[in-house]
Structure 1
Amino acid sequence: MSATRRQILSRTGASVAGIAFTGALSELFAGSAAAAGRRGGYGPLVPDPAGLLDLPAGFRYKVLSRQGEPLRSGEGLVPSNPDGMGAFAGRRGRVHLVRNHENRVTGKIGVPTVPGLTYDPAGKGGCTALELDGRNNVLGERVAIAGTAVNCAGGPTPWRTWLTCEETEDKAGTNGYTKDHGFIFEVDGADPHRTGAVPLTAMGRFQHEAIAIDPASGIVYETEDAFERPFGLFYRFLPNRPLGGTGSLRAGGALEAMRVPGVADLSVVQEAGTRFEGVEWVPVPDPLAAETPIRLQDFGPRGITHAQKLEGCYWGGRAVYFVSSFARVKDGSGATHFGQVWKYEPHRRRLTLVVVFGPDTDIQLPGESPDNICLAPSGGLMVCEDGDGAQHVFGVSERGEVYALARGRQNIGTTEAPEWGEFAGVTFSPDRETMYVNCYTPGTTFAVTGPWC
């Protein structure tokens, strides 16, 4: 097989990768600290003698946690498959890091069951919480919620808790589960027993991916990463007690799905800058999906708007941004693309396709299939790669330059056929001086410091 552009990039240590981007990249960085953004990356990646993580010169990493090691709480072993993650300020300069574990029922190290923190004893997913000092020394590591399933991503709340999302629709009696799954749970990394293991049922039961909260209105936006056609929907949840703090989302509210008039499938929109005015929000007939998955329910003669691989979601400025990692005609989408970022402005009821990722012909170029994303201190994005071959955390500047910030070096294949686990959960410390990121397989959590600005 001939070498791909991605393989060439990793071999040469190039710092900036050519990639086809269309759209206004500056749109993505609303609310970021740096106006101009970083140009050209931080230089070539330096091979790590320890064989864990390649970084540019001047950057260092610390391994915070690895799957299979004992939890410092003594509750069991560090679970497998670390995924979405959030970092929250604690007292005396400490950081509380809440980490999802995307475990299914078999094959991996599950989250240990703990009294008062376990939803369904048959569930192997959940969250763990690390407490760090100002130098990223681990002071504590414990179970934050257990007995959930396929905890993929989520998002932070304005009151410094984490909403962890189950990416499944399995019901009680399926795969050995004793309770229905497909919910969002609130997790307090500083005091997990304060939030417990209570599903936020009014926020819907579906294959959740990520959330973002409007800090002015308290409206929660939710993405659905459904695996089969018809694909997922983009939702908003109108809480009865908006911005009420920890536990307020248990007071219920209304769940609605986005309808773009005249557009049944977002994948058919191919030109960055395309705008749709008058976006509608349609009440979900049965948020608990007792008989029929939400995306298959009857939204009336005008239907509803679907999209494949709705994943990352974040709030910036006065808008919510959400990612469609890819779409493929062969999977049932209306068109093929290599990644989109959409922007919804609630005050204008306007939806805009901001950026189209990837090349037209070569899916091996960096930037294809963006997954977890976050704003970076330099005024750009950090994007976790979820594809084939070498796995990177890529930075994206406001000028559209893509550069490798980190490369995973833990070979989970063989010498003859190497493989590397994807990155997930990229996030920054409250002081913006540390990037935290997970290697999904083998489960490893890193703290990366360096000259970010």
Structure 2
Amino acid sequence: MERRTFLRAAVLGATPVALGFTMTKESFAAPAQTGPSPYGPLQAADANGIRLPAGFTSRVVARSGRTVPGTGYVWHGAPDGGACFPDGSGWIYVSNAELGRPSGGVSALRFNSSGTVTGAYRTLSGTDRNCAGGATPWNTWLSCEEVPYGYVWETDPRGITAATRRDAMGRFKHEAAACDPDRRVIYLTEDETNGCFYRFRPNTWGSLSEGGTLEVMVAGSATSGTATWARVPNPTPGSGSTPTRSQVSGAKRFNGGEGCYYAAGKCYFTTKGDNRVWQFNAADNTYELVYDDNLTPNPPLTGVDNITGSAGGDLFVAEDGGNMEICIITPDGTVAPFLRITGQNSSEICGPAFNPAGNRLYFSSQRGTSGSSSGGITYEVTGAFR
């Protein structure tokens, strides 16, 4: 019997007590199992080629290489990680450009209170393969370079303050970031097959200009347990020096770190190499699996990538490949498709983020129907999210 078949059989035959399930909103039942979506089944594809639950609608807000309607700004290629920020009575959606230097960087869309695009502009230029990142509580966007010895750049979503490189957050193949205001740390993922999970302790919370301490998670090889943290001796190694991930003995390895999202004392992050979603319990420094496609019958979620959450406590995980879906993981341990993009099998879904009111979800198809970085499409889905 193959490992995948054996593990799924073991899960289906086990009891919740044996698996240590918890059923609170703050701690996800683990591992999540395939089930019906609380939003109901997907309907036929709409005019934009997106299958959605009943009651939800989609629209295209920007296309790579084309002027954003109502503005004079040409939208960037290869849209990737993104986030929303309040802006008066409206909001701003920022989007990374996963393109090589000098074409990498960040662009932004400004919306008024009715959801109309009123502006588009660049907030970071000349950087290298800006993949994912994370929003800070002080309303800046941390844009991460997904290259060996890459940096984190702190950017202003309004485009007023110049972007600043934050060297103290380390030089490695950055993927995503998530801020924990309770412990005043920032968690970071690393897109390497033997990557690590980091946390950065700013010397001054609310300002990254005064440096801080980069630490790496230390733990065993199990999929659950207790972790400790160790300081990285040289967070900014040069080319040819010992990589950041190799400087601490016993650092826990993760297979291709991707998205990262924090809420209610938990940091959720994904690893694409083994199709897993992890939960780090910050209060007691324990970690466990939220989802593993090896432990889920007929898994709807594969190619796990960017991740975000709704105000109702659901996780939304975008696929890089798979069925081009954004899947939902509910706190009671159900995983199901929320939407599917059709006709774009050579692309990936990136940058899911909710507007401040929580009734609009933004995301991009990085290569769209063309399969090229010049064919990216950025969407908005509107509806009654839980």
Q: Which range, TM-score by smaller chain?
A: 0.7 to 0.9
Deviation at 1:326, TM superposition (A): 3.2
Deviation per CA, 1:275-301: give whole Å up to 9, x if none. 22xx332221221111325345443xx
One-letter amino acid of the structure 2 residue matched with residue 450 of structure 1:
G
When the two chains are superposed, the root-mean-square deviation of aligned CA atoms in Å is 2.7
Partner of 2:181, secondary structure, is coil
Superposition pairs for residues 116-265 of structure 1, below 5 Å? Answer: 122-169=101-148, 182-190=150-158, 192-194=159-161, 196-227=162-193, 231-243=194-206, 248-260=207-219, 263=220
The answer to whether the 8 A contact 2:355-2:361 is kept is yes
1:94 is matched with 90
Deviation at 1:319, TM superposition (A): 3.2
Select the residue among 335, 341, 349 that pairs with 1:408.
341
| 1:294 maps to 2:243 | yes
1:175 is matched with none
1:344 is matched with 281
| 1:307 maps to 2:257 | no
Deviation per CA, 1:295-350: give whole Å up to 9, x if none. 45443xx44222111122222222323222333xxxxxxxxxx31413132x43x2
Change in CA separation of 1:144 and 1:25 when aligned onto 2, cut-off 3 Å: farther
Q: Percent identity among equivalent residues?
A: 32
2:4 is matched with none
1:283 is matched with 231
Deviation per CA, 1:125-168: give whole Å up to 9, x if none. 11101100122211001111111111111111001111111110
Change in CA separation of 1:27 and 1:155 when aligned onto 2, cut-off 3 Å: farther
Partner Cα distance (2:348, 2:341) in 1: 8
Deviation at 1:51, TM superposition (A): 4.4
One-letter amino acid of the structure 1 residue matched with residue 131 of structure 2:
C
Change in CA separation of 1:60 and 1:145 when aligned onto 2, cut-off 3 Å: same
Select the residue among 311, 314, 324 that pairs with 1:380.
314
Greater per-residue strand proportion: 2
Deviation per CA, 1:243-272: give whole Å up to 9, x if none. 2xxxx2121111111212xx2xx4xx25xx
One-letter amino acid of the structure 2 residue matched with residue 251 of structure 1:
E
Partner Cα distance (1:209, 1:225) in 2: 6
The answer to whether the 8 A contact 2:133-2:142 is kept is yes
Runs of 4+ in 1 over 4 A off after TM superposition: 20-23, 25-31
- State which structure, 1 or 2, has the greater radius of gyration over its C-alpha atoms: 1
2:379 is matched with 446
Partner Cα distance (2:59, 2:321) in 1: 25
2:9 is matched with none
| 1:358 maps to 2:293 | yes
The answer to whether the 8 A contact 2:235-2:244 is kept is no
Partner Cα distance (1:361, 1:46) in 2: 24
Partner Cα distance (1:40, 1:409) in 2: 19
The answer to whether the 8 A contact 1:232-1:295 is kept is no
Partner Cα distance (1:405, 1:380) in 2: 11
2:61 is matched with 64
The answer to whether the 8 A contact 2:48-2:58 is kept is no
Change in CA separation of 1:28 and 1:207 when aligned onto 2, cut-off 3 Å: farther
Deviation at 1:420, TM superposition (A): 4.5
The answer to whether the 8 A contact 1:358-1:367 is kept is yes
The answer to whether the 8 A contact 1:309-1:325 is kept is yes
1:430 is matched with 356
The answer to whether the 8 A contact 1:151-1:164 is kept is yes
Change in CA separation of 1:158 and 1:391 when aligned onto 2, cut-off 3 Å: same
Partner Cα distance (2:384, 2:245) in 1: 48
The answer to whether the 8 A contact 2:268-2:277 is kept is no
Partner Cα distance (1:292, 1:354) in 2: 33
One-letter amino acid of the structure 2 residue matched with residue 341 of structure 1:
W
The answer to whether the 8 A contact 1:41-1:395 is kept is no
Partner Cα distance (1:29, 1:207) in 2: 30
Deviation at 1:28, TM superposition (A): 7.1
One-letter amino acid of the structure 2 residue matched with residue 284 of structure 1:
V
Partner Cα distance (1:152, 1:26) in 2: 33
1:323 is matched with 270
1:9 is matched with none
One-letter amino acid of the structure 1 residue matched with residue 200 of structure 2:
F
Change in CA separation of 1:298 and 1:131 when aligned onto 2, cut-off 3 Å: closer
One-letter amino acid of the structure 1 residue matched with residue 232 of structure 2:
V
The answer to whether the 8 A contact 1:410-1:421 is kept is no
Partner Cα distance (2:133, 2:245) in 1: 23
Partner Cα distance (2:126, 2:115) in 1: 28
One-letter amino acid of the structure 1 residue matched with residue 95 of structure 2:
R
Deviation at 1:30, TM superposition (A): 5.5
The answer to whether the 8 A contact 1:41-1:405 is kept is no
Deviation at 1:27, TM superposition (A): 6.2
The answer to whether the 8 A contact 1:224-1:310 is kept is yes
Deviation at 1:377, TM superposition (A): 3.6
Deviation at 1:360, TM superposition (A): 5.0
Deviation at 1:397, TM superposition (A): 2.0
Structure 1 unaligned regions, length at least 5: 1-17, 32-37, 105-121, 170-180, 328-337, 412-418
Change in CA separation of 1:295 and 1:40 when aligned onto 2, cut-off 3 Å: same
One-letter amino acid of the structure 2 residue matched with residue 344 of structure 1:
N
Partner of 1:251, secondary structure, is strand
* Matched length: 356
